Amino acid sequence: MTSKESLPLPEYSVVVPCYNEGENLRVFHERLFNVMQMTGKTWEVVYVNDGSTDDTAEVITALGEKADNIAYLNLSRNFGKEICLTAGLDHARGTDAVIIIDADLQDPPEVITDLIAAYKDVDTVYAQRRSRKTDSWLKRLTAFVFYRVMVGLSNRITIPPDTGDFRLISRRALDALLSLRERHRFMKGLFAWIGFPSRAVLYDRDARYGGYSSFNYWKLWNFALEGITSFTTVPLKIATYIGLITSTVALFYGTFLLIRTLIFGNSVSGYPSLMTAILFLGGIQLMAMGIIGEYLGRVFNETKQRPLYIVERYVNNSKKWD
Ligand code: UDP
Ligand code: MG
């Protein structure tokens, strides 16, 4: 048996969240393997199976049997990409840096070479899309609005636009990231929150190799809500100010009505304005309560202190040397 010294921890870890990626994983692994071998670094890949319903688990197990630098983490059910990624990062053992990449080949593994080349004097090298020309106009518009809103709402932290999770982060940045254990994990925001110097590498995002994206507009909307509510309480303030403004306006209007009634008497009219005011205020109140509810729901989830994920199985062939 080899001793601990002869097989030290890998320098790089590649973390890959996988949900129904059975069709893509073999091709993905081959391309990743070729790229990582060229770097001349010691490396491992951590495949995290996020409760897939296809043959993802079998494909990863088959890959893992051939090499001892493949770690396989099987979650007990589908937890969603953000949590799945966190599980992978928790199990990444790379001493120098960790690379995060999607399994569907939309993030070309070849770009990792550029990420590693740019990894000098910075803690994060993130892959930024050169253009969004392959996206539909609706996706482009919603992404544009989302980034603008995020930039406007969260001061101090800056989330780079057109950037996903595809990136390289140093070990100390990873440790900082992993110290944030919140349940509502808006990764883009968390990456930005930890700070440290960073650099962008431009790349072209490919189409999915096989399978289907699990993100639709409803999910994207919820994702945006998650982003906003996890990083800023500005919506709560907006609710306060809308309340303040409407009550000030109501006060002036009330004074005006009072004076008018005193001078000209009261002819019972104004049903339309009454209805408008009631409906308007009712709407605003419900909206404000909804906003409070969004935050309260998140507080509720955080206070439960549940673990972020449950591991069904963790296989790491190189572990036996640890
Ligand atoms: N993914 C995951 N759990 C999920 C959904 C997605 O681990 O519940 C993984 C998926 O396998 C892929 C990455 O997250 O590697 C990005 O997912 P997808 O391609 O569906 O998103 P898109 O690229 O369309 O934003
Ligand atoms: Mg994808």
Measured by CA distance, the residue closest to atom 16 of ligand 1 is 102
Does the Cβ of 51 fall within 6 Å of ligand 1?
Answer: no
pLDDT band at 66 (very low <50, low <70, confident <90, very high): confident
**pLDDT tens-digit profile of 111-144?**
999 999 999 999 999 999 888 777 788 888 888 8
Superfamily per CATH, domain 10-232+308-321: Spore Coat Polysaccharide Biosynthesis Protein SpsA; Chain A (3.90.550.10)
- Distance, in Å, from the CA atom of 125 to the CA atom of 107, rounded to the nearest integer, reads 14
Report CA(206)–ligand 2 centroid distance (Å): 9
For ligand 1, whether the C-beta of 106 sits within 6 Å is yes
pLDDT recorded at residue 15: 97
Among 64, 10, 67, which residue's Cα sits nearest to residue 41? 10
Pocket probe for ligand 1: among 104, 162, 216, the residue whose CB has the most ligand atoms within 8 Å is 104
- Look at residue 176 in the predicted model and tell me its pLDDT: 95
Picking from 31-35, 257-261, 263-267, 305-309, which range would have the lowest pLDDT averaged per residue?
263-267
Ligand 1 in reach of 210 Cβ (< 6 A): no
Q: In whole angstroms, what is the distance from residue 288 CA to residue 285 CA?
A: 5
Q: What distance, in Å, lies between the first and last C-alpha atoms of the chain?
A: 12
DSSP H stretches of helix in 211-308: 217-231, 234-264, 271-303
- Alpha-carbon distances, residue 81 vs 19, 97, 187 (angstroms): 8, 21, 10
Q: Is the CB of 104 under 6 A from ligand 1?
A: yes
For residues 226-240, average pLDDT:
83
Q: Which of 140, 214, 218, 222 most suits a substitution to test ligand 1, by most atoms within 8 Å of the C-beta? A: 214
Q: What percent of the chain is predicted at pLDDT more than 70?
A: 96
- Find the 116 Cα to ligand 1 centroid distance in Å: 23
Domain ranges for the chain = 10-232+308-321, 234-303
- For residue 39, pLDDT over 70 is answered with yes
Asked whether this complex has an ipTM greater than 0.90, the answer is yes
Residue of the CA atom closest to atom 13 of ligand 1: 102
CA of 178 to the centre of ligand 1 (A): 20
CA 134, 138, 139, 145: dihedral to nearest 10 degrees? Answer: 130
Residue 5: its pLDDT value, please? Answer: 47
With a 6 A CB cut-off, is 28 part of the ligand 1 pocket?
no
